[in-house]
Chains A and B, each alone.
Chain A
Amino acid sequence: DADVTQTPRNRITKTGKRIMLECSQTKGHDRMYWYRQDPGLGLRLIYYSFDVKDINKGEISDGYSVSRQAQAKFSLSLESAIPNQTALYFCATRDSRGAYNEQFFGPGTRLTVL
Chain B
Amino acid sequence: RKEVEQDPGPFNVPEGATVAFNCTYSNSASQSFFWYRQDCRKEPKLLMSVYSSGNEDGRFTAQLNRASQYISLLIRDSKLSDSATYLCVVNNAPGGYQKVTFGIGTKLQVIP
A contact residues vs B (CB 8 Å cutoff): 31, 33, 35, 40-43, 45, 50, 56, 88, 90, 94, 96, 99-100, 102-103, 105-108, 110
Contact = CB atoms under 8 A, between A and B. Distances in A.
Contact of B87 (A41, A43, A100): A43
Interface string B14-43: 000000000000000001101000000111
Given A99-B91, A108-B43, A40 B34 contact: no
Interface string B54-67: 00000000000000
26 contacts: A33-B100, A35-B102, A41-B104, A42-B102, A42-B105, A43-B44, A43-B87, A43-B102, A45-B100, A50-B97, A56-B97, A90-B43, A90-B44, A94-B98, A94-B100, A96-B98, A99-B91, A99-B98, A100-B32, A103-B89, A103-B100, A105-B45, A106-B43, A107-B42, A107-B43, A108-B41
